[in-house]
Amino acid sequence: MESKQYDFVVIGAGPGGYVAAIRAAQLGLTTAVVEKNLVGGVCLNIGCIPSKSLIHNARLFAEGKKLLETCGAKVDLSGFDYAQVWKASRLAADRLSKGVSYLLKKNKVELVQGKATLSGAGTVDVETEGGARQLKAKAILLATGSRPRPIPGFEFDEKKILSSTGMLMSEKLPGRLFILGAGAIGMEFAYVMNAFGVEVTVAELLPRVLPLEDEEASKIVEKEFRARGIAIHTGAKASGAEVKGDHVVVHLTDAQGSPLEIETDAALVSVGRTTNIDGLGIEKLGMRVERGYIITGEYHETSCAGIYAVGDITTYPQLAHAASKAGEIVAERVAHLLKGAPNPREHVLDRLHVPSAVYCEPEVASFGLSEASAKEKAIQYEVARFPYRGNGRAVAVEAPEGQVKIVFDPDTKAILGASIVGESAADTVHELLLASKAELTAEDVAELVHAHPTISETIMEASKAVLGHAIHI
């Protein structure tokens, strides 16, 4: 078996893995990254990037049609071909995947295509098309990500019962779509499919859609979705789905305990993801794992010295940007230990300053303490809000539904967290995030002069609301 020594070996070339590998190489470590599928991982290939391409084109499609009809034009959609929209999403994914491969090569990171297994401390065995290889490493990073979680009664066939992967790879629109799970993935697909004319039904076991987001934000999104004709069942339990010829029958029990049968052309199951840790060999090493997640400590090191883990396989938020930042932290830590490089980071990733975003319409973004979590932790807090309807830009672009909500310390006016729902929420949230991270107060944000008219003025006005004098329109 061919064997080669490296400073740093990364297993998984997704956002956590490839960022860590490139950063390690920049810091002078001899680095290899092992990937059994496509470079870029789920995010670039069957997740964040292609889904955002679909969302972008869904918005153009829906808003373009609406504008033309408002202006009195007759819109003929008889030649519409969703396959072209799908091809655009694949092109975006392919371009970025190739871009990552280029960056790995440019930074002299060796890419090894194959399936990796930990065979001992500092040893990675790889099954490649050309035969077995053994990679020796002074430090190893696990960044193998996750996959859609199946549930009994809704086994994936990727034809009628779809995972998010199957949905993204489908070149045709169903006439009707049932979505099980109203989290970020489910709601994003609900928006896309509805915009392209699909009859959409969403079912969620918990009492509201987007259950991980602020309750007020989720209510605004649900109201907008219902107004567009999307059927939503919250507090509903799904017991299974039957494929009957060319359609699917989904069995539900609604919030009142009444049985429902929903006939649809396809069902999308989006009830979470499960970690890709099977077959890595971590059991032989005695690595600490709880409920399927690898437990990490300081600098994301596992219970096995010299082996680190980041991304979806850990207990950190299952977000690409969280994995990337954790990967940077690990690379810098390893370079510090092996090469004496400066280590600028004193702590692991701060969970409270990792933003989340849902890219439906309206968008939702948040970070830090929500009102509910502050209350649960008995932290002294108050909230301030500013509605999008009071913002000139939001009204001008016909996006008046939404609000900025700030959770703050009533004594110091420190920003403890924020939730934004509305136009450009995923972009504008970072102003409050930076202010909170830099320990600025709401007054500091309120005093900053913002260009007019901009959506970001909602941030300024919400900050003024903290001080009791929001005035702008």
Instruction: Report, as residue numbers or ranges, the catalytic residues.
Output: 452
Q: What are phi and psi of 407, to 5 degrees?
A: -100, 125
Q: Which residues of 347-385 are buried (b: 16+ CB within 10 A; e: fewer)?
A: ebbeeeebbbbbbbbbbbbbbbbbbebbeeeeeebebbb
- Cα(first)–Cα(last) distance of the chain, in Å? 70
462 labelled binding-site residue = no
Q: Measured between alpha carbons, how far is 21 from 331 in angstroms, rounded to an integer?
A: 7
- In the three-class reduction of DSSP (H, G, I as helix; E, B as strand; rest coil), residue 4 is classed as strand
Residue 361's DSSP bridge partners are: none
185 labelled binding-site residue = yes
Is the previous residue joined to 211 through a cis bond, with omega within 30 degrees of 0? no
159 labelled binding-site residue = no
Q: Which two tokens stand for residue 405?
A: 């909500």
Q: Measured between alpha carbons, how far is 288 from 304 in angstroms, rounded to an integer?
A: 8
Q: Which two tokens stand for residue 222?
A: 């649900």
Q: Which residues contact 460 (CB under 8 A, 6 or more apart)?
A: 445, 446, 448, 450, 472
Q: Measured between alpha carbons, how far is 29 from 43 in angstroms, rounded to an integer?
A: 26
52 labelled binding-site residue = yes
Q: Measured between alpha carbons, how far is 243 from 249 in angstroms, rounded to an integer?
A: 6
197 labelled binding-site residue = no
145 labelled binding-site residue = yes
Is there a contact between 134 and 125 (Cβ–Cβ < 8 Å)?
yes
Cα separation values, 229 from 193, 223, 232, 266, Å: 12, 10, 9, 18
313 labelled binding-site residue = no
Is there a contact between 62 and 195 (Cβ–Cβ < 8 Å)?
yes
Q: Which amino acid is at 169?
A: M
At which residue do the structure tokens 């807090």 appear?
Answer: 381
Task: Give the relative orientation of helices 82-106 and 15-26 as an angle to the nearest 10 degrees.
Answer: 30
At which residue do the structure tokens 């002069």 appear?
Answer: 449
Q: Which two tokens stand for residue 429?
A: 């949230």
182 labelled binding-site residue = yes
Q: Which amino acid is at 8?
A: F
Q: Measured between alpha carbons, how far is 153 from 149 in angstroms, rounded to an integer?
A: 12
Q: Measured between alpha carbons, how far is 116 from 101 in angstroms, rounded to an integer?
A: 19
Return the number of other C-beta atoms located less than 10 Å from residue 4's C-beta.
14
122 labelled binding-site residue = no
146 labelled binding-site residue = yes
Closest CA to 399 of 453, 439, 358, 318: 453
441 labelled binding-site residue = no
Known binding site for FAD: residues? Answer: 52, 144-146, 312
Known binding site: residues? Answer: 52, 144-146, 181-188, 204, 272, 312
Known binding site for NAD(+): residues? Answer: 181-188, 204, 272
